[in-house]
A = this chain, B = another copy of it.
Amino acid sequence: MAEREAGGSTGRAATLSDVAKLAGVSIATASKAINGRDQVAPATRQRVMAAAEQISFTPNELARGLINGRTGTVGLLTSDLEGRFVIPILMGAEDAFGAGQVNVFLCDARGDAIREQHHLKALLTRRVDGIIVVGRQTDPRPSLGHDIPVPVVYAYAPSDDPTDISITPDNRAGGRLAVEHLLSCGRRRIALISGDPAFAAAQDRAVGVREALTDAGLELVGSPMYSDWSEHWGRDASAMLLRQYPDVDGIVCGSDQIARGALDTLRDLGRDVPGDVAVIGYDNWEILATNSRPGLTTIDANLQQLGRVAATRIFDALDGAGGAGSTEVTGGTEHLPVRLVIRGSTIPRR
């Protein structure tokens, strides 16, 4: 009886000893042959490789991880329900090394601290090489603490503990970039509509906006308008803005959603974009930015790059800790540059 191989879908995976037996060598030799170590005669290597191919042998990464202490896996801990931030960051982390070198466990804690602890424990149990914590705001979040046996990197949302390693987009530079672009489009009467003022993102971007205006010898039209990050607010705020300052010719929006709302209102009021008023958003949320009329110029946070850097920091920390050279991985918050994406809402197209 034993077990049938019928479906092929159940056959126990081939092991190295199967390969060795088939090739007529010892397990040790098979291992060396497959992993390209020397100490193996070319003919023998050939034979082993052929055998491995024949029974489609793939080394068991579990056993491998057991030995060398590295699993080549990383845990991504998030509460980003939309996946808006986490997916690009994940792709970046995958890319940091060759494709398939590193695999990522994605864990969604759904904003629940208990669930986050569960996931954390599960990840440690699986011996991930490191953990990337992704928040959905750029406000500092509580640190996971320092009694974790693997490196932890905080991405997007920095840790509130300055000795942790954090990587976050440079919102201030983003604010500057937005204004500088509007200025280069010849705009001089620029207003700011942003989201919830309790968010660091709102504050930081506003600082950048102000700096750039000051540098140009200008001032903001009216005071910055804060409420929430929604399209509704974008619509309402821009209506108010235009009633009070009809000669505004540029609007910096704190998010693409707000910008969408602003575009809506401008249309309703018969203002031409970008002819009368140029509008710039923030986030480069494709679904919003590319479908608006006109397309939305916006600031992209380079999240993929952010993921790449985060993964790199983890393995830097590992190598630093293990090696004798002690490449001292220092904590602190690293601000990554952002990028301007130009579409029709600031520069006429076609």
Contacts and interface: CB of A to CB of B under 8 A. Distances in A.
A148 B287 contact: no
Interface of A: 7-13, 56, 58-63, 65-66, 71, 73, 76, 81-84, 86-87, 90-91, 94, 99-100, 103-108, 110, 115, 118-119, 121-127, 146-151, 230-232, 235, 257, 260-261, 267-268, 285-288, 291-293, 317, 321-322
Given A106-B104, A257-B287, A125 B61 contact: yes
Contacts of A61: 125-127
Contact of A86 (B83, B119, B150, B230): B83
Stoichiometry, copies per complex = 2
28 contacts: A7-B321, A9-B151, A9-B321, A10-B322, A13-B127, A56-B147, A58-B121, A58-B124, A62-B62, A62-B65, A62-B127, A76-B106, A81-B87, A83-B83, A86-B87, A91-B108, A94-B108, A99-B115, A99-B119, A100-B121, A103-B105, A103-B122, A104-B105, A105-B106, A230-B291, A231-B291, A232-B291, A257-B287
A165 to B, nearest CB: 11
A62 B66 contact: yes
Nearest to A322: B10
Contacts of A147: 8, 56
- With a 10 A CB-CB cut-off, give which of A61, A91, A230, A288 has the most chain B CB atoms: A61
A231 B318 CA distance: 47
Nearest to A101: B122
A62 B71 contact: yes
